[in-house]
Structure 1
Amino acid sequence: MHRQRARSVRTAVDSRADSVHTVRTGHAGGDRVRLSGFDLLTGPWYIPLTFFYRKTLDAEALRDSLARTLRHYPVLAGRLRRDADGGLSVVCDDAGVRFTEAWSPDAMGDFGHDLRSEPVAGNLVREVTAFGVVDRDTPLLKIRLTQMRGGGSVLAVMINHTLADGASALSFLQNWSHEHLGLPWEKPNHAREVLDSLGRPSPSAAVREGRALVTVGRLRRLAATARLAARRLTTVTTRFHAAELAAMKEDARASLPGSGAWVSTNDTLTAHLWRVYGQLRERPADAPEWLGLVVGARTRLGGELPAGYWGNCVSSSWTSTTAAALRTASLGALALGVRRCLESTTEDKLRDEIAFLNSLRRKGISRRVMSARAHDAFDASLSVNNWSRFPLYGVDLGGGRPFWYEFPDVPVPTVHITPTPDEDGGRDVYLCLLEEHAGELAGPGWQARLHPFR
């Protein structure tokens, strides 16, 4: 029997900067790439990803292979500029990527669920702030390589979110890995104008009225942002092994309502986590409980995007039930609801969203769009972002595969699902919750509810 444990306390890696380099490609084309409506949704924050390696990485070799890789990612070596209509563009001027070499007086720890780490990005608040990026000489890709005493390396990668979603960020890292190892890789396509051209208002009133995005006034947006900053969240991690997931899926299958219904392992795990969180919150029986799913749009746009499209290309879909139903419904019924929520992200819905975002940019109010569920993000919502098919542990940069990946805290209650380091069919789950909920979930009683199928 596998022993399960959830941890929320993190230890900081002592990472002391030694030298800072600017990595350039040597090819400044000067093109101006206008970012899409999907790109503008995120704001100019950074995605901090941290990878831990047993072997020591070669900093000079990494810079060389990075420069070669960046020739096919000119936006990463460029700078953000504000357009006249309030949108954003990247000037591909080869201003460069920041590559910091650092060292630690400590030996490499056995990082994982039992030893969590802060994302290793130097002063994280300074590094990931969205202020001071647009119309500044601020790198859009920042890398920090920390060499640990006695061997081993920690690689922190921060990509500005306006340029890439999770799938694109990981495809860049995998392509860098392939370039570093001398392997072939597919070159990306940066044709944002093709994505924007797919916009078309839906003929369905239900689709238009059910948009997950709304426009708000400046004061309301500032109030929502301040509310996010005022709540403290903590990330708890736990692992679901393949056998446990199989038992969970079998339980859901046995309780599926109707004949011919089907749900995936990820549908089942998502439903289970949503139900446990609903039990943990104990909201009134008739209170609404909302589940938001981050959904990749590339394969849902009718095959009209270029192969290897690189940028933000995700949507979100929402489903809801009452708190009482969430706590008592069968796992199969909840998993089927998750499946239907995913399938509601149709080509028509996505084209409508693209057209809607394009219209906001034309009106100069792109910065006033936000999630329709932002007002109840802490009280009634849970967002799920599933990266279980991403090559998180395939980023080999000459030192073998990473043995651990660290995910940062995010501003709202979120479930982040990833593969395990062994990629054995299990799932690592990062639950970023309000501190009081995270503390309870880490206790033995709630651990038993979280892992009833082990």
Structure 2
Amino acid sequence: MAQLPTSLVFTIRRSEAELVAPAKATPREYKLLSDIDDQQSLRFQIPVIQFYRCNPCMQGKDPARVIKDALAQTLVFYYPLAGRLREGRNRKLAVDCTGEGALFIEAEADVKLEQFGDALQPPFPCFDELLYNVPGSEGMLNCPLLLIQVTRLKCGGFIFAIRLNHVLADGAGMIQFMSAMAEMSRGAIAPSIPPKWERHLLDARDPPRISFTHREYDEVEGTIILSENMVQRSFFFGPKEVSTLRKLLPHHLRKCSKFDILASCLWRCRTIAIKPDPDEEVRLLCVVNVRSKLNPPSPSGFYGNAIVFSAAITTARKLCQNPLGYAVELVKQAKESVTEEYVKSAADFMVIKAPAMERFSKELDNMSKEQPADEMGKSVSISSTL
């Protein structure tokens, strides 16, 4: 039984989790992950939840059945996701394409979508009910790489929840897979964008050579923030709020991205709130999509991890005492520092500095990702626990 802070109580009935294999036979092979893919800091699961209103076009159709069939068909093309991770020498990861399949859960909830009210905002209080953690499924090795739960609602709508092992795909790759599922659910015989593996494009060089300092992986020392004194809240910035923040910037920064504005604003506000030593170094890690940074660019359909981290670094005093534009400049410079050589150097760093990567993974905060609406219908809210 699930209960929201608004006192809304409802019951979810789940069927037993089952493995959905590809609809057709797929190659049995080993596929190595890239050195960007299998870094320690990406060895976790990406969970996403989407809420869908009743769609007249779905009249007479069971969303769980439609999605389950689409999953089986999509796994024919994305067959590595139906396999299992194995670990070799030096902790190198590879996918054993066994075709065993992905976990699928069918569920029903005696509640209507509109009854959730304002609770359709991250962090969603009943996330664990709507994306059930099947015992033994959350491991990195020898476990299903993908889990999907579809929960029907009394109003005819449904909730789609998915969990994917991050070493297989980044946010863009996950969206590509979900879009392919949506196409298959509408009767397509193949995804409009054929998936590409090509993980070798983001491997370390031979021999590896680090050509950047990569301060983003420095071991952080300084202010200890006690988690018990923290609360999690969601703040939504619409066009009006973003426009207001944009007006605080000097003219030459007015055309910067929403990410630059919001990341800089939150970094600055958070630093002011935790009150570190004024001379303490503070940093903001940015995740940069490097698909277009490679020469030639990564092929269309590539769904692996094409991301690297870069860091905006300053002192608490400078960040808090300077206007917002100062932080925006730092964030923009951090992103612009990512070149093809930077990406290659980062891959080399993964191989040479593995112990530093393990420390980094422990210090890395969970990151929110903005996901667009799925093409199976227009979702009314999307939440991630990242």
TM-score category of the 2 structures, normalised to the smaller one = 0.7 to 0.9
Return the structure number with greater strand share: 1
Distance 1:373 1:132, change over 3 A: closer
Asked whether the 8 Å contact 1:18–1:101 carries over to 2, the reply is yes
Distance 1:402 1:199, change over 3 A: farther
Asked whether the 8 Å contact 2:369–2:384 carries over to 1, the reply is no
Which position in structure 2 is the counterpart of 1:162? 167
> SS of 1:298's equivalent?
coil
Which position in structure 2 is the counterpart of 1:316? 309
CA shift, 1:358, in A, is 4.0
Matches within 5 A, 1:10-29: 14-25=11-22, 26-29=24-27
Matches within 5 A, 1:74-93: 74-93=79-98
The amino acid of 1:27's aligned partner reads A
Which of 226, 233, 238 does residue 235 from structure 2 map onto?
Answer: 238
Deviations 1:12-41 (A, max 9, x none): 974321243321113131111111111112
Which position in structure 2 is the counterpart of 1:369? 357
Percent identity of the aligned residues? 25
Asked whether the 8 Å contact 1:255–1:333 carries over to 2, the reply is no
Asked whether the 8 Å contact 1:318–1:341 carries over to 2, the reply is yes
Matches within 5 A, 1:1-400: 14-25=11-22, 26-41=24-39, 42-55=41-54, 58-109=63-114, 111=116, 114-116=119-121, 117-118=124-125, 120-122=127-129, 126-127=133-134, 132-134=139-141, 136=142, 138-182=143-187, 185-196=192-203, 201=208, 204=211, 207=212, 209-213=213-217, 234-254=231-251, 263-359=256-352, 369-370=357-358, 372=360, 387=370, 390=371, 392-393=372-373, 395-397=374-376, 400=377
> SS of 2:77's equivalent?
coil
The amino acid of 1:142's aligned partner reads L
Asked whether the 8 Å contact 1:202–1:349 carries over to 2, the reply is no
> SS of 1:40's equivalent?
coil
Q: Distance in 2 between matches of 1:165 and 1:293?
A: 14
The amino acid of 2:357's aligned partner reads V
Q: Which moved more, 1:278-287 or 1:174-183?
A: 174-183
CA shift, 1:124, in A, is 6.5
> SS of 1:236's equivalent?
coil
Deviations 1:237-259 (A, max 9, x none): 12111122123213213486xxx
The amino acid of 1:55's aligned partner reads C
Deviations 1:218-277 (A, max 9, x none): xxxxxxxxx999868653212111122123213213486xxxx96333212221111111
Distance 1:119 1:128, change over 3 A: farther
The amino acid of 1:370's aligned partner reads E
Q: Distance in 2 between matches of 1:386 and 1:131?
A: 20
Distance 1:68 1:373, change over 3 A: closer
Q: Which moved more, 1:105-114 or 1:310-319?
A: 105-114
CA shift, 1:132, in A, is 4.0
Asked whether the 8 Å contact 1:22–1:98 carries over to 2, the reply is yes
Q: Which moved more, 1:276-285 or 1:90-99?
A: 276-285
Asked whether the 8 Å contact 1:53–1:403 carries over to 2, the reply is yes
- Count matched residues: 367
Give unmatched runs, 5+ long, in structure 1: 1-7, 216-226, 361-365, 411-454
Deviations 1:92-138 (A, max 9, x none): 1210111110111223245575554236444979459886441x3x2
The TM-score with structure 1 as length reference comes to 0.71
> SS of 1:369's equivalent?
helix
CA shift, 1:299, in A, is 1.2
> SS of 1:162's equivalent?
helix
CA shift, 1:401, in A, is 0.6
Q: Please, what is the CA RMSD of the aligned residues?
A: 3.4
Q: Distance in 2 between matches of 1:67 and 1:349?
A: 38
Asked whether the 8 Å contact 1:79–1:93 carries over to 2, the reply is yes
Q: Distance in 2 between matches of 1:71 and 1:228?
A: 46
Asked whether the 8 Å contact 1:291–1:383 carries over to 2, the reply is no
Q: Which moved more, 1:158-167 or 1:235-244?
A: 235-244
Distance 1:112 1:193, change over 3 A: farther
> SS of 1:263's equivalent?
coil
The amino acid of 2:195's aligned partner reads P
Give unmatched runs, 5+ long, in structure 2: 56-61
> SS of 1:246's equivalent?
helix
